[in-house]
Homo-oligomer: A and B are copies of this chain.
């Protein structure tokens, strides 16, 4: 079983996932991505190659683990965290801390087409995928052991995708991620000082400036963040304040679908289908049993859910590892300008 180990110096948890068990010989040759439908465990007809499905959308009906689905959710075959153990079992190992790897690790197969690509989905299809995200988030948050549910997507081998068939992932974990904890703390401190949401303030300033804005309608904004770590990084957020992605309405998710359709198309055309990651940042599980109260808990008024898209065009190197800072060779203003100029939907500006 996997375990969570705490880095005493860096105050960060690491999942040691023995099931995913790589031996040193596995590192000799580059991983190959399965490309033929016959071998792809995510293609229709190959349902028996995956663990039994958790849920699926089958518009025409049909039994579980049979073809005919439009979206299919399965447990990850090599889970980073698992639900077998009921006990979080925090313990010390001398100066170190550990706990059992309790959690969940699911794969959302976004559609039956092996060569599908998110940028080419219809707005309706994107909305369908986001509704599945919301339902998995809501479902997993019923478990009080799970403090945070992370939803993310890896596209392309350079972004860590090991299978080409389009899919997203869900990892539910018993601790609040450090990245989110820092955001919760910044948002709380800003709220205490100003009685306003930090991210609402940022959105207001970006809309006034416009120089980093890529998409702006009544529902959502997408902009290159002021301190972008990477070329063409984008920050996508609902304009109306909301801390919890799980509380998004169907209308919100349709708006998100429209926004993502446009910006994924712009990224694909501008950068020739770049490898990318995206991650949803949302509030921690309000139903979790707290071990201790702290910044990991949020109050609805001070956090604001959002989605970060990171095209993987540059490589991390010693500077980034040594500092936690980043060197970005492309200013967010020029990245945003370039993306705005990409023609989409007859908009040939």
- Chain A residues close to B by CB (< 8 Å): 5-18, 20-24, 27-28, 80, 93-96, 150, 152-154, 157-161, 169, 171, 173, 175, 177-180, 182-183, 186-187, 190, 198-199, 201-202, 205, 209, 225-229, 231-232, 270-272, 274, 277-281, 308, 310-311, 313-319, 321-332, 334-335, 338
Taking a contact as CB atoms closer than 8 A, the residue among B13, B209, B280, B310 that contacts A227 in the complex is: B13
Task: Assess the A318–B169 pair: CB atoms within 8 A.
Answer: yes
Q: Which residues of B contact A8 (CB under 8 A)?
A: 186, 190, 198, 202, 226-227
Cβ of B277 and Cβ of A318 under 8 Å apart?
yes
Which B residues lie within 8 Å of A153 (CB)? 318
List residues of chain B with CB within 8 A of the CB of A152: 317-319, 321-322
Contact call B20/A331, Cβ cutoff below 8 A: no
For the complex with contacts A13-B325, A152-B322, 4 further pairs of A-B residues with Cβ separation under 8 Å are A5-B227, A14-B227, A95-B205, A150-B322
Q: Are B23 and A201 in contact (CB under 8 A)?
A: no
* Distance of A286 Cα from B273 Cα, bound (Å): 47
Q: Of B15, B278, B318, B322, which is within 8 A of A326 by CB?
A: B15
Complex Cα gap A27–B133 (Å): 31
Q: Which residues of B contact A13 (CB under 8 A)?
A: 227, 325
B residues within 8 A CB of A228? 14, 16
Contact assessment for A80 and B327 in the assembled complex, using a CB-CB cutoff below 8 Å: yes
Assembled-state Cα–Cα distance A202/B274 (Å): 42
Q: Which among A11, A205, A229, A328 has the highest number of chain B CB atoms within 10 Å? A: A328
Assembled-state Cα–Cα distance A263/B12 (Å): 26
Choose from B17, B93, B209, B322 the contact partner of A328 (Cβ within 8 Å). Answer: B17
Select from chain B the residue with minimum beta-carbon distance to A226. B96
In the complex, the answer to whether A171 meets B319 with C-beta atoms within 8 Å is yes
| Contact indicator B179/A323 (Cβ below 8 Å) | yes
Residues of B near A186 (CB, < 8 A) are 8-11
How many copies of this chain sit in the oligomeric assembly?
2
Most buried by B among A93, A271, A277: A277
Contact among B202, B313, B324, B331 for A179, CB-based, below 8 A? B324
Q: Which residues of B contact A318 (CB under 8 A)?
A: 150, 152-154, 159-160, 169, 277-279
With most chain B CB atoms within 10 A of its CB, the pick from A16, A21, A157, A270 is A16
Contact in complex: A328, B15 (CB < 8 Å): yes
- B325 and A177 contacting across the interface, CB-CB below 8 Å: yes
Q: Which residues of B contact A160 (CB under 8 A)?
A: 315-318
For A231, the closest partner residue in chain B by CB is B22
Cα–Cα distance between A35 and B311 once the two chains are bound (Å) = 28
- Determine whether the beta carbon of A18 is less than 8 Å from that of B327: no
Query: Given the complex, which residues of B lie within 8 Å of A179, measured CB to CB?
Result: 10, 321-324
Q: 11 A-B pairs, CB-CB below 8 angstroms?
A: A14-B229, A14-B328, A18-B329, A20-B327, A22-B231, A24-B338, A150-B319, A177-B323, A182-B324, A280-B322, A308-B322
A169 to chain B, nearest CB (A): 7
**CB-defined contacts of A324 to chain B, threshold 8 Å:** 12, 177-179, 182
